[in-house]
Structure 1
Amino acid sequence: MSVTEPAIVPEIGRIVKVLRGREQEQYAVIVQIIDERFVSIADGHKRKFDGSKKKNLLHLELLPEVSGEVAGSIMETGRVTNGKLRFALNKYKLSVQSEAHEKGE
């Protein structure tokens, strides 16, 4: 009997890594859940909130990090600023870099 990790579910504010397409290897934030297969993502820089990209979940790696600021803003107003998206992604990238530095990679 093995214990499996619970699957990471798509939710607004979750940080993802793009695995397929033009923006491959880039990070983005889920800003809308369209249905069980598709979500809209934005990064606040190249892909703004107003021009978010529809992506198949199979083409994304869902990361364990969720930005509370982004999720809260979208829940309250239905929108999020591009600055908040950039801030959330930069904060995540810095935490990943510091973890890699601590491990000596």
Structure 2
Amino acid sequence: MNEPESRPRIGQLVRILQGRDAGQFAVILKVLDERFVYIADGDKRKFDRPKKKNINHLEFFDYVSPEIQNSINETGRVTNGKLRFAVSKFVNEQITDFEKGEQLDGERGCN
């Protein structure tokens, strides 16, 4: 599932694997400890009410949104619009790459 050496990073895109929001994408807002992170997507889950999530219930992508990362590091906050933009940009790029014949990072069958 997750490699132990890959630590969650602020601004990293994830897919939720377990729970009510399974299958949806979100952005890591804060790393609490080695097991839990706060995530939000700017739509259903806003910045001011992030979801505490076990990292074992998330699929991590090798993509960090620089806009989100810079905003959180500089001001400690990020707008819900930026979160929605980062998620939609990532999903659109990944779907386009997938349609061209490339596999998504983390998909089954990838070596």
Moved over 6 A (4+): none
How much is the aligned-residue C-alpha RMSD, in angstroms? Answer: 1.8
What's the counterpart of residue 82 of structure 2?
84
Secondary structure, aligned partner of 1:55: strand
What's the counterpart of residue 24 of structure 2?
26
What's the counterpart of residue 48 of structure 1?
46
Contact 1:8 1:63 in 2 (8 A): no
CA distance in 2, matches of 1:104, 1:14: 20
Q: Mapping of 1:1-105 within 5 angstroms?
A: 7-103=5-101
How far the C-alpha of 1:7 sits from its partner, in A, is 4.1
How far the C-alpha of 1:39 sits from its partner, in A, is 0.2
TM-score when normalising by structure 1: 0.90
Secondary structure, aligned partner of 1:44: coil
How far the C-alpha of 1:8 sits from its partner, in A, is 2.8
Secondary structure, aligned partner of 1:103: coil
| Cα offsets for 1:7-47 (capped at 9, x unmatched) | 43201000000000000000000001111100000000000
Structure 1 residues 72-81 or 7-16, which shifts more? 7-16
How far the C-alpha of 1:101 sits from its partner, in A, is 1.8
CA distance in 2, matches of 1:19, 1:6: 18
Unaligned runs of 5+ in 2: 104-111
How far the C-alpha of 1:6 sits from its partner, in A, is 8.8
CA distance in 1, matches of 2:76, 2:9: 14
How far the C-alpha of 1:62 sits from its partner, in A, is 0.8
Amino acid at match of 2:100: E
Amino acid at match of 2:52: K
**Aligned in 2, Cα 1:77/1:21: closer, same or farther, shift over 3 Å?**
same
Instruction: Point out the structure with max Rg over C-alpha.
Output: 1
**Aligned in 2, Cα 1:104/1:17: closer, same or farther, shift over 3 Å?**
closer
